[in-house]
Chain A
Amino acid sequence: MIRLTALHMDLPGFTLNDVDLHIRKGEFFALMGSTGSGKTLVLETVAGLAPLDSGTVEIGGRDVTKLPPEARRVSLVYQDHALFPHLTVLQNVMYGQRYHGIPKERGRREARDLLDALGLARLENRKPARLSGGEKQRTAMARALACRPDVVLLDEPLSSLDPQFRGELRHTLKQIHEDMGATFLMVTHDFTDAMVLAERGAVIKDGSLHQQDTVTNIFRRPATPFTASFVGMTNVFPARYDNGSCAFAGHSFDGLPGLPEWRAGFAALRPEDVIVGTAADFPAEWHIMEGTVERLEREGFTWTATVRCSGQSLTAMVDRHMVLNRGLGIDSPVTVGFAGEHLHHMPKDV
């Protein structure tokens, strides 16, 4: 449906570096990255709002690289909604219909149906200034959908909302996507949003794509250290691989499953897969490291410890018994352990 080939853009202080992206018809695709990664810029190139130095944008098999935004049939929903302040909710929603050959009466009916489905029916005569954040967001969604676009572009659709509305709107978004059959491209810095909403996704950093896969695969098998930390595998260590052993953080481990072929790379672990204890606490097949506690932080019902293992810091979950009954504290010598199958390996260069 959307095919981006070698998108390149040189801006002062930022380069979009030959981005290739393929989004299938009807798919919910999440482009993930932190602030300043260039993700919104990619979204704007799809919409035709950012000038490309080179590369092509195809939508539905049609090369639209040279087409202006209004000829692309893509609707854009910005994070700050960008509702038209001088128009009512209904007028906002009906704004684009006339350019898509939808007659006025039918358009009004469809717009009202959309408002109804999004729980905005009562508000159709309000001006945007008198809407709550969630109502604004849903109005912006309705406005984008009302002209029956081929592609809906969402810029951080959930990040400006309070947590309780967030879950609700996530559900609404998913529902809309299933009902509409349009292709959704969402930009987000929040991996959880991507996990819940999207089937496939990509991770971008500093204008370069790091990985493109199903969201589940990105979560389970991140391709680069950056992606790893982005999906919550925050313990990333430079590692050496040699004759069936893997060495990192001053320890060498044998008998690990699924060791890669490369000799130098990165090994990564999720904090929740690393447990702090004493040597006797771990099953025999687990792998253990020795270290000292550097920091101990309470996070709700659990503790997180930063453990120093020969020059490397590692974050680990701590069982509450360790703190309350066994007196774990700063500078305590500890053993941390992990199961071999939880260790993730990545090559040095991508």
Chain B
Amino acid sequence: MTISAGLVLLFIAIPLLTTLTAPTGEILLETLNDADVLKSVWLSMTTSAMAAGLAFVFGTPLAYFLARNDFPGKKVVESLVDLPIMIPHPVVGIALLSLTSPNMWFGEFLQSMGVTIMGTRTGIVCVLLFVGMPFYVNTAKSGIESIPRRMENVSRSLGAGSAATFFRITLPLCWRHMLVGMIMCMARAISEFGAIIIVAYHPMIAPVLMYERFTAYGLTYSQPVAVILIVVSMLFFLLLRSMSLPKSEAQ
């Protein structure tokens, strides 16, 4: 058992470590000064964070509804929520593009509102939200399920409306689950590539830039970008994770 567990850990760690240690200091420094690289990493982080924020705003009501209600067809709705996890990423990109193309009524509507999806930051956030949403909704849902219904009932009977009950009882008791959900949503978003290159090759997010450097200049020049993205996201996620841990109760 120990051997197989160790093998799995090595399987994950070795390729990453190799990548991390591959670039020479000189190339790494050069890359760090490359405005395109920094821009793309920044774009990756911000668009993913925005997707996570939007998932929180729009996914929480759905998570709440699914956690608190049983209805015929609930399994179908839950599978629908999970669907973005399963379908191939280029399909996501193609689906979003075809929906928003100007010859579709929805695309026409978007165009009249001045919203463009193809090749824009909006398009990137859209794709990331699409692929990250299931992670947020499922985590938030299980968090809400862990809070007894009766607590909300008592709060209501004491005079707090459903919104007040949510903000005074439900949210304080499960914000950690929601934060973990947002972290997972964002993590999923940062790693997205397949759908992005279809919807928005430009502006370039870090994975696209990496791909471009790889095809144009080869491994040596794509590795440093990877290193920067890995280090930045790892630091960021460690920070968020530590926030989401329950603080030890002081006696």
**A→B interface (CB under 8 Å):** 44, 47-49, 68-70, 72-78, 80, 82, 84-86, 95-96, 98-100, 143-144, 147, 153
> CB distance B150 to A70 under 8 Å?
no
B160 within 8 A of A: yes
Complex Cα–Cα for A84 and B157 (A): 14
A-B contact pairs, 20 of them (CB 8 A): A47-B153, A49-B153, A49-B156, A49-B157, A68-B162, A69-B153, A69-B157, A70-B161, A78-B154, A82-B148, A82-B153, A84-B155, A95-B155, A95-B158, A99-B158, A99-B164, A143-B158, A144-B158, A147-B158, A147-B159
- Inter-chain contacts of A74 with B (CB < 8 A): 157
> CB distance B161 to A76 under 8 Å?
no
**B→A interface (CB under 8 Å):** 148, 150-151, 153-162, 164, 168-169, 172-173
SS class of chain B's interface: helix, strand, loop or mixed?
helix
Q: Which of B148, B157, B161 contacts A72 (CB 8 A)?
A: B157
Q: Which residue of A lies closest to B156 (CB)?
A: A69
> CB distance A75 to B158 under 8 Å?
yes
Q: Which of A68, A72, A82, A85 contacts B154 (CB 8 A)?
A: A82
> CB distance A84 to B158 under 8 Å?
no
Q: Which residue of B lies closest to A96 (CB)?
A: B158
> CB distance A80 to B150 under 8 Å?
yes
- Inter-chain contacts of B158 with A (CB < 8 A): 70, 75-76, 95-96, 99, 143-144, 147
> CB distance B153 to A76 under 8 Å?
yes
- Inter-chain contacts of B150 with A (CB < 8 A): 78, 80, 82
Complex Cα–Cα for A188 and B158 (A): 22
- Inter-chain contacts of B173 with A (CB < 8 A): 85-86
User: 6 closest Cβ contacts across the A-B interface?
Assistant: A99-B159, A96-B158, A69-B156, A76-B157, A82-B150, A82-B154
- Inter-chain contacts of A153 with B (CB < 8 A): 157
> CB distance B160 to A70 under 8 Å?
yes
Question: What is the CB-to-nearest-CB distance from A83 to chain B, in angstroms, rounded to a whole number?
Answer: 8
Complex Cα–Cα for A44 and B154 (A): 11
